[in-house]
Amino acid sequence: MKLKLGAQVKKIYGLLFFVMLVWGLNVSALKVLVTTVDPVFLTALRIFTAGLAVLIMTRLLSIFRLPTKRELVTIGFIAIFNVILHHIFLALGLANTSGVNAGIILGANPLVVLMLSILLLKTAFSRLKIVGFILGFLGMMITSLAGTDALSVFSIGDAMILISMLAQAYSFILISKLNPTFDPRLLTGYMLVFGSLIIFIVSFFQNAKFTQVTALFSWKLGLLFMFSALICTAAGHMIYNFAIKQVGPAETAVFVNLNTLFALTGAAFFLGEPIVLCHVIGFLFILCGVFFGSGAFESMRKPQSKAS
């Protein structure tokens, strides 16, 4: 049974690696899309498309069912933090702060999830895992600061990014406490659809130009949108939320550090942005952080100690 569980955890970690890859590439895709379509309206449309796709996938997986009234309240509550607050403040914050500031604030997510897990879930972590979280954060900072002169002064945009990050971190704790009878993949579909409808309303009051959606009819932008909505948001969030329930919010969140690595790689490959030595050093810190913080190093040592 232990071998089976170990194999399952390895499979989940492999899927998380894939999710971080596509989420990193999604940054380049969104950079192209937001130059044509209003960012908040694009977010609502992308999340709504992803939500419908997730519900269809849960139907194919035979896990679809209608939620109870109590579960509806839970879905709405998690969606407020995971979708509505996170994405609205992220979209508004990115328009009012530097990319460096935003990257560092968002990169603190794994450490915040770690602290919330200790405070709210009473989870105990080994020293090696804590070292891994710190290494990952340092790697993210080194990578984000590479090629920049200095951080800009803390602004209202930074405060919005901070709220966005804290809301998402807290939502991970809520997902980990979800009723075992309600599949987190099904939760993903419902909360994406619910959250997107609220963001649609917000974009309406922001006087977003809904006619901009016609730009997505071109094959290039259309493919980028479908990649972002179906692969990154739908499949990515299904896998991520499922992993939270299986291996824990902190162990899952440490993989978020890989976002920085893959985002910069994607920017270099697709947008022609340079990669410097500091990026490589940061990559190494991030990889070591994930290796220790996820518990992979400790799990590799256990068979050896038993054999001796």
pLDDT digits (tens, 9 = 90+) for 125-152: 888 888 888 888 888 777 766 655 545 5
- Number of domains composing the chain: 1
Lowest mean pLDDT among 39-48, 170-179, 191-200, 205-214: 205-214
Domain range holding 109? 2-307
Signed CA dihedral, 34, 40, 96, 90: sign only: negative
Name the more confident of 45 and 212. 45
pLDDT at 178: 82
- In three-state secondary structure terms, 49 is helix
DSSP conformation letters of 118-174: HHHS-----HHHHHHHHHHHHHHHHHHHTT-S-PPPP-HHHHHHHHHHHHHHHHHHH
pLDDT at 305: 44
pLDDT at 307: 42
pTM exceeds cut of 0.85: no
